Structure 1
Amino acid sequence: MKTPFLIWTAVILLSWVGRGQGETPTRPNVILIISDDQGFPDYGFMGNEEVQTPNLDRMAGESLLYTRGYVMPVCSPSLACLLTGKLPHEHRITGNDLSDNRSSRGQRGELAEQLLSSPTLLPKMLTDAGYLTLQTGKLWNVTYADAGFTHGMTDTAGRHGDAGLGIGRQGMEPIFEFIDAAQKQKAPFFVWYAPFMPHVPHTPPKEILDAYRGRGPTPAAEKYYAMVEWFDQTCGQLDQYLEEHGLKENTVVLYLADNGWDGKHGQSKARAKLSPYELGIRTPMFVRWPGKVAPARDDATLAHIIDFVPTILDATGVARSESLAGLNLTDREAMQARQTVFVESYTHDIADLDAPEKSLIAQVVIDGQWKLIAPGPVNPDRPFSSVPSATALFNLAADPLEENDVASEHPEIVEKLLSLQKAEWNP
């Protein structure tokens, strides 16, 4: 009876060896796609008939899709959430810049020190677990190496992402070359694809823009829609590469936008980027993992940006801290049981890294169909950002773009949501 025992022992040993760095072909690859300044309605799969997003439409259809995802209303705090798994009042990167007159180098150094002090840094954790990790596109305040990536494009610490911003607009070759190298090393890989798209400047290729001429509400909107389609094309190129190289089945693809945008009005109205309204903070989110995660569309469950770190760590088998409050997006039971998520809206410039409340313009509570916006102690510092003058309540099921404040009609719901916010964080 030794043969079964020997076979069982060999299986266990092979499994153990497979845990070494670069030796685990069954560990999934991961690609995180982050679009930049894209409104939640501006996808075909979200019902927009003016903009063309065939690749994201297809990918969303192959995924577990949450159409009610929430992020912070501006990019640097949102990206810090994706790196740390924490809300801004915890990681303290509440805005894009410090509000005083420090030199750019000194300001970035202080912000970098704050960000890198987080006990959780997603790329570093994946690198430590044996993944090859690539940064492209947006990355505020730090270099790719600072954040723990093994490879990257942003090799100077500045605003947005410096050299990393060439990805997408100038082609996808850096990602393809990195994946080729990872395949040759037989190492699992993680790709951070955060292009400067469809972010301004809206400079789409002429052949894409020509198709939108006369179709949008304004010429500016037509350029934005063309940028969205251009971004969609880059996602299609990336997905085609996975398909052609036999990588689709063992690659987890996750998607969200870092913050919203008003596709029709840009920044001429004050309810999108940098604001706590739906056009500023809502985005679809999806996870595609063929054979592991069943495709489904969920228009009810609340998803959140802090869910991405636990989702990726769980998928890759990397242990995570119990202090992470986010959920695994693929845990349907836990996701559907959650009723409430929170969003924090701040001034563009950070008044005090040690006191986030000094930059707070609004706190947001979304509880089922109800949304409460509670104004903070300071006013917005940009003309295209706004908050209500008093605590406002909206029924998102009946009023998805918050046109009718019903706080006076439902004081008991206002009190309940304020209590939830106070328990979450009361500056």
Structure 2
Amino acid sequence: MTRRDWIAALASPAVTAQPSGPRPNVVIIMVDDAGWWDFGANGNPHIETPHIDRLAAEGVNFTNFHAQPVCAPTRASLMTGRHYLRTGVYNTRFGGDTMRASEVTLPSILRNHGYRTVLAGKWHLGAYAPYAPHNRGFEESLSQAHGHLERYWHPDQFRRNGRSVETRGHITDVLTDAAINAVRRRDPRPFFLFLSYNVPHSPHYISDEYVQRYLAKGLPLTQAQIYGQITHCDRGVGRLLAALDKEKLRDNTIVMFLSDNGGVSTFFNGGLRGRKASAFEGGTRVPFFARWPGRFPAGARVPAMACVQDILPTVCELTGAPLPHGVSLDGESIAGLMRRGRGDSPHDYLYAIWDRFQPRIDRSQWSIRGRRYKLVREQLFDLDTDPGERVDIAAVRPDIAREMRERFAAWLEEVTSGQTFEPPPIPVGHPDENPVEIQASWARIHGSHVTWASASVDPGKEERLGDPAAGSAVNYTFAGYDWDTIDGWKNPGETATWKLDVWSAGVYDVTVSYGCDPETAGGMFRISASGNAVEAEVRATPSRNVFETRPAGALRLAKGAATLEVSVVGPGRGQELMTLNRIWLRKR
């Protein structure tokens, strides 16, 4: 879909029934890495989640609701109503967590329908303009782009409408406060609020008061920290629900609650197999509660199979917003299930798949889930008699296993047709982002010696983004995004390259962040793009893991496609050139 098609899609609505009365507000609360089993409402006897449990009791509990095995894929499906493999997303980093700019998003639809649209929290669908939340339909946003943060106290990666801001306090409180402020804002329009918490994703930083209550129950430390994060988050949900009550918004506000994938906790799993990143039930089944007082039956439990792609068409039906014209959705509205608190699934099959790079049926984690049977790669399970997926019956029912595998293979071929599994070029000189930060994780890295190689590189194939070539010492080291580095390089000719999309021609100042042990300083590196280059000497920092930011010169960039390359000129004392952390390009 081109951008022109996208605009036409919003301007040419599909027919949607208009709701009676004032349009409802919509709040979607998403937690990160909490399992289906991590809430009292779903039978966990150890955890304390009274506010979320009350939300479930006052609304409809979908007990068979599914996401994808990991975070960015689920978020892409939530925003578009489409399976993530259709949206340009295929990874959780290396730029593969960037949703295609032409995708029509739920906030865009609702904003076009007269809603005030607000995001508070994790985005994880694009780090650069025009992929950031304020470019994708959110009128207001306090967000961070990545899947992981190092700092949960006083987090320093948040942006408000694209501009960096300082935040104070624990990340869960920061986001809850932002959500409450959005609810309290006086505005005649209805609002759509997406409150996207980072917890209980690692790092498991939380106040001792929350950890101690679970240590006292006999949980191991890490599990106590995870449960503590969830309980702290539950308090935030309670504060938000109280704000809705105080502002007299409760009765006309739809509140939905879910997680982005299976859980990471292991102390209690509710009888499910697998966890985050798995295609078993424990990796894809997530909590999903929906409350609309007087409209949805309180206390209803719906076992019908549903999925995250269903949320967009459901919200459109409940608000009277148009479905995007000419866009193929994978989701189906489950508004009727919400209103009745019972009914059949709109799906015959659900598909889940996860791979760090290009998905393949012979390598990836995948499953196809029918109403009774489920195939997880080669294993077949009868969910009616074996919901915990313990007994493989593929040898007993090879006909079903074969048919489901063929169905999955055909589906995978269809959704991946025409996909490149490459991130878009990094926009440089975009009016919404100057300077632009060139991240280590987006690089292709090339080296010529020693032994480091990724097991996921196919022999004879070009290395994929984030993978070094076989036999290369040059390595991308993931340390939580802010501390990511490219390291190990020391021979002339070893390089890291990035694809750029230069929006505006001109002179760009180049700044580099790196670390270098004093005893290995003195090497030279070259940065080049658009046919010109600058060279700079690597100066010592306190250590290779302590980064300092230094100017490296200026480059004249032509408008259009370009390749930015950093290469070793001379390694200094024969040791590692540097640990490269970031590059910034600022248009003068």
TM band (smaller chain): 0.7 to 0.9
Q: Which has the higher contact order (CA 8 A, sep 6+)?
A: 1
C-alpha offsets along residues 256-313 of structure 1, whole Å, 9 cap, x if unaligned?
A: 10011242269xxx93221211221111212211122223533531010100111111
CA deviation after TM superposition for structure 1 residue 70, in Å: 0.7
Equivalent in the alignment of 1:170: 174
Deviation at 1:241, TM superposition (A): 0.8
Q: Which amino acid aligns with 2:213?
A: A
1:343 is aligned to: 351
In the aligned structure 2, how far is the partner of 1:169 from the partner of 1:42? 20
> Does the C-alpha gap of structure 1 residues 413 and 339 become closer, same or farther in structure 2, counting only changes over 3 Å?
farther
Q: Deviations over 1:82-129 (max 9, x none)?
A: 11111022113121123xxxxxxxx4xx854x42221x2111111111
Q: Is this contact kept in 2: 1:73–1:345, CA < 8 A?
A: yes
Q: Per-residue deviation at 1:45?
A: 1.1
- Candidates 9, 21, 29, aligned match of 1:33: 29
Higher alpha-carbon Rg:
2
Counterpart residue type for residue 328 of structure 2 = S
Comparing 40-49 with 171-180, greater Cα deviation is found at 171-180
Establish whether residue 92 from structure 1 lines up as the match of residue 88 from structure 2.
Answer: yes
1:209 and 2:211 aligned: yes
What amino acid sits opposite 2:28 in the alignment? L
C-alpha separation between the residues in 2 aligned to 1:201 and 1:171? 17
**Any idea what the Cα deviations from partners look like across 1:174-201, whole Å, max 9, x if unmatched?**
12222222xx221110111111111111
Q: Where do 1:5-16 residues align within 5 Å?
A: none
Matched-pair contact (CA < 8 Å) for 1:44–1:54: yes
Task: Give, as a single letter, the amino acid of the residue that structure 2 aligns with 1:325.
Answer: D
Residues in 2 aligned to 1:260 and 1:144: alpha-carbon distance in whole angstroms? 25
1:65 aligns to 2:61 (yes or no): yes
Residues 329 and 335 in structure 1, CA contact (< 8 A), matched pair in contact too:
no
Q: In the comparison of the two structures, how many residue pairs are matched?
A: 365
Q: 1:44 aligns with which of 36, 40, 44?
A: 40
Task: Calculate the TM-score normalised by the size of structure 2.
Answer: 0.58
Instruction: Confirm or deny: 8 A CA contact 2:355 2:365 kept in the other structure.
Output: no
Q: Tell me if 1:328 matches 2:333.
A: yes
Which blocks of at least 5 consecutive residues in structure 2 are unaligned?
Answer: 1-19, 150-156, 160-166, 417-588
Query: In the alignment, residue 163 of structure 1 is paired with which amino acid?
Result: F
**8 A Cα contact 2:91 2:97, kept in partner:** no
**What one-letter code is carried by the residue in structure 2 that aligns with 1:407?**
A
Correspondences of 1:340-379 after superposition (within 5 Å): 340-348=348-356, 350-351=357-358, 356-357=359-360, 361-374=364-377
SS at match of 1:153: strand
Task: State the SS of the aligned residue for 2:108.
Answer: helix
Q: 2: CA distance between counterparts of 1:127 and 1:299?
A: 30
Per residue, is there more strand in 1 or in 2? 2
Contact 2:184 2:243 in 1 (8 A): no
- Contact kept? 2:36, 2:262, Cα under 8 Å: yes
Q: Is the 8 A contact 2:349 2:371 kept in 1?
A: no
Q: State the AA in 2 paired with 1:116.
A: A
For 2:140 and 2:352, how far apart are their aligned partners in 1? 32
TM-score using structure 1 length:
0.78
Mapped partners of 2:259, 2:319: distance in 1: 22
1:167–1:304 Cα change, 3 Å: same
Does 27-36 or 395-404 show the bigger shift? 395-404
Contact 1:345 1:360 (C-alpha < 8 Å) held by counterparts: no
* Contact in 1 for aligned 2:361/2:409 (Cα 8 Å): no
Backbone CA RMSD of aligned residues: 2.7
Conserved in 1, the CA contact under 8 Å of 2:90 and 2:97?
Answer: no
- Give distance in 2, aligned partners of 1:229 and 1:197: 10
Q: 1:131-162: CA deviations, max 9, x gaps?
A: 111111110114221221000112x7555584
Matched residues, percent identical?
Answer: 27
In 1, the alpha carbon distance for the partners of 2:276 and 2:108 equals 30
CA distance in structure 2 between the partners assigned to 1:32 and 1:134 by the alignment: 11
Q: CA deviation at 1:255?
A: 1.4
Quick check: 1:134–1:150 contact (8 Å CA) kept in 2? yes
Distance 2:71 2:289 in 1: 19
